[in-house]
Amino acid sequence: MFMDPTGRTNASEPGFHLARNGAGTLLVRLAGSWTIAEGIPSTAEIAREIESDPRIRRVIFDTENLQSWDSSLLTFLVKLLELCRGADVEAVRDGLPAGARRLITLATAVPEEKGARRAAGTETFLSRIGAGTIGILSGATETLSFIGETFLASLRLLRGKARFRRCDLTLLIQDCGAQALPIVSLISVLVGLILAFVGAIQLRLFGAQIYVADLVGIGMAREMGAMMTAIIMAGRTGAAFAAQLGTMQVNEEIDALRTLGISPIDFLVLPRMIALVLMLPLLCLYANLMGILGGAMVGVGMLDLSVVQYFNETRDAIRLTDFMAGLFKSGVFGILIALSGCLRGMQCGRSSSAVGLAATSAVVTGIVAIVVADAILTVIYDLLGI
Amino acid sequence: MSGLDREVHIEVHDLTMAYGSFVIQRDLNFKVRRGDVFIIMGGSGCGKSTLLRHMVGLKEPARGNVYYEGVDFWSVEVKEREAMMRRFGILYQSGALWSSMTLAENIALPLEEYTDLTPSQVREVVSLKLSLVGLAGFEEFYPSEISGGMRKRAGLARAMALDPDILFFDEPSAGLDPISARRLDDLILELRESLGSTIVVVTHELASIFAIGTNSVFLDSETKTMIAGGDPRKLLETSHDPKVRSFLTRDAPEERSD
């Protein structure tokens, strides 16, 4: 409670009594402690009184028994004054505490800006569909223009004219490569282990448990190594790219680059894309080896195969083409993760919640793009007989 | 009633602020009386905002105490301290509005958390607070959709949501045009006059210091302590300290010839 004009501190319930002061004047006697903690009395009784007696032309106030007040009284008075205005009744503020009079004057000093108030929930179903469609179209245009700009920046890079700091690239390569090794190791070993375990149960029925090595080797090299690495990197690095660029957007750092004549695509997007395109195939290769190691654990531990037997079978099963197919896929996935992370970061709004949305959107876009690209590449490989 | 007759609302006693072993300010001693507009001033980087953080409970002092109406703020139980903090209203430098909420939701949150008002009453109080800062009708806007000055005013509306005893302002005029800064100063004065609130302002804007300040403390980054205090206008007339004088008169201190 921030004020106590009478110096009394005994809080009692806020309230008012209505009395007539002459035929046309309604006296509102405010009493008690008008604080937010005590609640805000309703103006309904006064409204009824004014409505029921058209002779009332004036409302006056008596605050002799008012103990203390805060926004509770102000909210009540603002509402009451509005009510009086609507009923063409004069509200005489003289009897109110001086502070309250001043604050009411302050609250009504700046008129509401025309058109500022927004009506809630007035959008029709059709207008929502329309707005959604326009949103999708403008999103697609932005995405295409971003891809186009990145392509042009890549051409500038090939001509040696792209501008970015080499030390940024080194740090990004470190972040996308070496620092991702622990999580890639863990997931890949487990994926190899799961593949081998599922295969072992079936193949043991036919006494063909040695083919677990083929299953794990080919599965990891052609598909799972690239796919799992890409999904890990979409969650880890794609989200980080979106959050970094989004925060730069919020802090106007990207605007600062633009006004200096430096293309943010060159300076921020290209190094991230290069780092991921270089590192993802290497991580994929590493994931393949870790997956095979996980498979070997099951082969040796559960199927009574020797380590040499397992690795000889793996070597015989996997062709170089299988490895290359997986590595090519991972390169494509690298481009897609970098593009989706950077695109969402560059599209980020100028608030902290927008940064969170950008990171989430980057992961979702990245994973969808990875799965779609994988399906397309698998069909192409099949057509080409790879 | 003269300034000195009013009760002491806040007392900072032997306060030392430090980050680890790095001391920012030491041995700060001053009193803020009820109804004061108390200015914390000093050059950039002298620890003004850090002092504010110590006063509002965001950072614990390395040494010393802060008393509110005689209660040692940092010695009481956490729950009691939190209850004391609810009597503070704080306007942060950037407004610090929650970006995922509309202005109405920003102001309504403390009301919903700490009062028993009905949703319609909360809406009415929110509208009143926004009207007080000249933002009537902007209830459904998000912070990212309004200007920096408006964000600051909305931040003030949120700071006033629970009708605090003490209002803290961290650089209220920073980034505002002179007219908006003047309006904010007027608003601060009006709040003090109407509500009788105690107001603590961190600023280095001279115009604001002289327009609203009734008492002050001057922090010096070189000696790492306060070197002056009192009514800023009197300080301008009476202080012989070259640092205080050059700050208040906006004159660069003379370069040494040797």
Each residue of B76-134: pLDDT tens digit?
998 899 889 888 999 988 888 888 889 999 999 989 888 999 999 999 999 999 999 88
Chain B nearest C-alpha distance from A97 (Å): 9
Q: Structure pTM?
A: 0.73
**pLDDT of B255 above 80:** no
Q: What is the pLDDT of residue A8?
A: 38
Q: Kindly identify which residue of chain A lies nearest to residue B167, measuring between CA atoms.
A: A2
Q: A interface toward B at CB cutoff 8 Å?
A: 1-3, 35-37, 39-40, 70-72, 74-75, 78-79, 98-100, 102-103, 106-113, 116-118, 120, 349-354
Asked if residue A192 and residue A68 are part of one domain, the reply reads: no
Asked if residue A150 and residue A84 are part of one domain, the reply reads: no
Q: In A, which residues are within 8 Å of B143 by CB distance?
A: 351
Average pLDDT of chain B, as a whole number: 89
| Residue-number span of the structural domain to which A91 is assigned | 15-109
Chain A nearest C-alpha distance from B100 (Å): 6
In a domain, A72, yes or no: yes
Q: What is the pLDDT of residue A9?
A: 41
Q: For B196, which of A3, A72, A79 is closest by C-beta distance?
A: A3
Asked if residue A236 and residue A287 are part of one domain, the reply reads: yes
Cα separation, B102 vs B146, whole angstroms = 11
Q: What is the pLDDT of residue A245?
A: 95
In chain B the beta strands, taken as DSSP E runs, fall at 8-19, 22-33, 37-42, 63-68, 71-72, 88-91, 166-170, 198-202, 215-220, 225-229
Asked if residue A216 and residue A101 are part of one domain, the reply reads: no
**Which residue stretches of chain A have pLDDT < 70?**
1-11, 116, 118-121
Of residues A224 and B195, the one with the higher pLDDT is A224
Q: Which two tokens stand for residue A383?
A: 């057509």
In a domain, A120, yes or no: no
In a domain, A121, yes or no: no
**pLDDT of B258 above 60:** no
Cα separation, B94 vs A226, whole angstroms = 45
Asked if residue A362 and residue A310 are part of one domain, the reply reads: yes
In B134-235 the beta strands, taken as DSSP E runs, fall at 166-170, 198-202, 215-220, 225-229
Contact B140 A118 (CB under 8 A): yes
Asked if residue A188 and residue A96 are part of one domain, the reply reads: no
Strand order in the sheet with A58-69: A15-20, A25-34, A58-69, A90-91
Q: In A, which residues are within 8 Å of B105 by CB distance?
A: none
Chain B nearest C-alpha distance from A71 (Å): 7
Q: What is the pLDDT of residue B52?
A: 93
B27-60 residue pLDDT tens:
999 999 999 999 999 988 899 999 999 999 888 9
Query: How many helices (H) and strands (E) are present in chain A, helices listed first?
Result: 15, 4
Contact B116 A39 (CB under 8 A): yes
Asked if residue A306 and residue A194 are part of one domain, the reply reads: yes
Contact A39 B197 (CB under 8 A): no
Contact B137 A116 (CB under 8 A): yes
B134 touches chain A (CB under 8 A): yes
Between A and B, how many residue pairs show a Cβ–Cβ distance under 8 A?
100
Domain annotation for chain B: domains and CATH numbers: 1-87+165-176+197-250 (3.40.50.300), 95-163 (no CATH)
Q: Which residue has the tokens 């300290």?
A: B241
Cα separation, A161 vs A155, whole angstroms = 9
Q: What is the ipTM of this complex?
A: 0.79
**How many CB atoms neighbour CB A328 within 10 A?**
16
Chain B nearest C-alpha distance from A83 (Å): 14
User: How many angstroms separate the Cα of A140 from the Cα of each of A212, A234, A241, A273?
Assistant: 44, 21, 20, 20
